């Protein structure tokens, strides 16, 4: 069944969650990951979590991790007039800071979870940010080929706490297509959890060796490097920078 991303009823947290939500969720979540394609299951899982608590649904630490993303890109040079693509924007933990700061029509957030996009649209209204006209798009096909962006390009791209939940083939797809939304000067910052080998922990947590990203980038003639700005993630995520040219 098609889930309507504009439906308010899907997007709001219940004021009084049913006391059985936790155990019902556990059964439902197991079933989702057992029966569905990974991204479909992850998207539906996120929808369930947004209905329960939209701030916890994207990992919690709403204020701290929202500000961290914003301050980081500001230090990296994000200016008000520049454009930002927020891949996996979720419920706008970081997005609300970017939308407030950037000029109108400069923020684009994409996500595969209808409930996050619906919540994000409501939040923009609640926080009186309508006049910033953020573009909030649901990736219905759950691909990372950026077709829905119709060849728009961006000054900055961010994927914060997204590759931490994606399988190698999804990140590979992202790297194969990211060039279509980049100019020669675009800076794409992304976070990941580091491990010696590719590791899956539980249903939806993935860790990678840094070389994994270098190898994917090399295949597309892109460059990955450690950015010169300090990134103090409370859960130890690392930040890398992908560009087309070594001087950006």
Ligand X SMILES: C[S@@+](CC[C@H](N)C(=O)[O-])C[C@H]1O[C@@H](n2cnc3c(N)ncnc32)[C@H](O)[C@@H]1O
Residues at the site binding ligand X, with contacts judged by CB under 6 A: 43, 46, 58-59, 87-90, 93-94, 110-113, 116, 139, 142, 144, 160-162, 165-166, 170
159: tokens are 């994927």
Dihedral, CA of residue 222, residue 226, residue 232 and residue 235, to nearest 10: 60
Residue 175 or 247: which CB sits closer to ligand X? Answer: 175
Residue 19 or 232: which CB sits closer to ligand X? Answer: 232
Residue 90 or 134: which CB sits closer to ligand X? Answer: 90
Nearest to 55 by CA among 143, 134, 116, 135: 116
Smallest separation, CB 142 to ligand X (Å) = 6
The three-state secondary structure class of 158 is strand
Smallest separation, CB 90 to ligand X (Å) = 3
Smallest separation, CB 73 to ligand X (Å) = 12
Residue 16 or 124: which CB sits closer to ligand X? Answer: 124
Residue 19 or 234: which CB sits closer to ligand X? Answer: 234
Smallest separation, CB 41 to ligand X (Å) = 11
d(CA 105, CA 99): 9
d(CA 175, CA 187): 13
- Cα 55-65-119 angle, rounded to 5 deg: 30
* Number of residue whose CB is nearest ligand X: 88
State phi, psi for 157 to the nearest 5 degrees: -130, 140
Residue 59 or 179: which CB sits closer to ligand X? Answer: 59
Contact (Cβ atoms closer than 8 angstroms) between residue 192 and residue 163 = yes
Smallest separation, CB 139 to ligand X (Å) = 5
219: tokens are 């295949």
**Which residues does residue 225 pair with via DSSP β-bridges, in sequence order?**
241
CA 105 to each of CA 97, 111, 170, 189, 245: distance values in angstroms, whole numbers, following the listed order: 14, 18, 28, 21, 27
Residue 73 or 162: which CB sits closer to ligand X? Answer: 162
83: tokens are 């454009």
């Amino acid at each position: 069944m098609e889930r309507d991303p504009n439906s308010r009823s899907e997007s709001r947290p219940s004021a009084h969650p049913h006391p059985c939500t936790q155990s019902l969720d556990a059964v439902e979540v197991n079933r989702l990951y057992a029966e569905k394609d990974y991204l479909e299951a992850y998207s539906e899982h996120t929808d369930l979590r947004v209905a329960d608590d939209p701030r916890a649904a994207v990992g919690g630490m709403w204020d701290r991790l929202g500000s961290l993303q914003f301050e980081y890109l500001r230090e990296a040079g994000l200016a008000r007039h520049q454009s930002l693509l927020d891949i996996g924007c979720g419920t706008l933990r970081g997005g609300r800071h970017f939308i407030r700061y950037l000029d109108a029509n400069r923020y684009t957030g994409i996500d595969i979870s209808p409930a996050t996009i619906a919540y994000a649209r409501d939040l923009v209204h609640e926080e009186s940010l309508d006049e910033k006209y953020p573009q909030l798009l649901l990736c219905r096909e759950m691909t990372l080929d950026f077709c829905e962006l119709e060849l728009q390009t961006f000054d900055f791209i961010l994927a914060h706490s997204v590759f931490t939940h994606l399988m190698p083939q999804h990140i590979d797809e992202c790297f194969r297509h990211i060039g279509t939304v980049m100019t020669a000067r675009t800076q794409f910052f992304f976070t990941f959890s580091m491990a010696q080998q590719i590791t899956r922990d539980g249903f939806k947590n993935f860790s990678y060796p840094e070389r994994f990203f270098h190898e994917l980038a090399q295949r597309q003639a892109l460059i990955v490097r450690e950015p010169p700005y300090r990134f103090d993630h409370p859960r130890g995520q690392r930040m890398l920078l992908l560009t087309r040219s070594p001087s950006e």
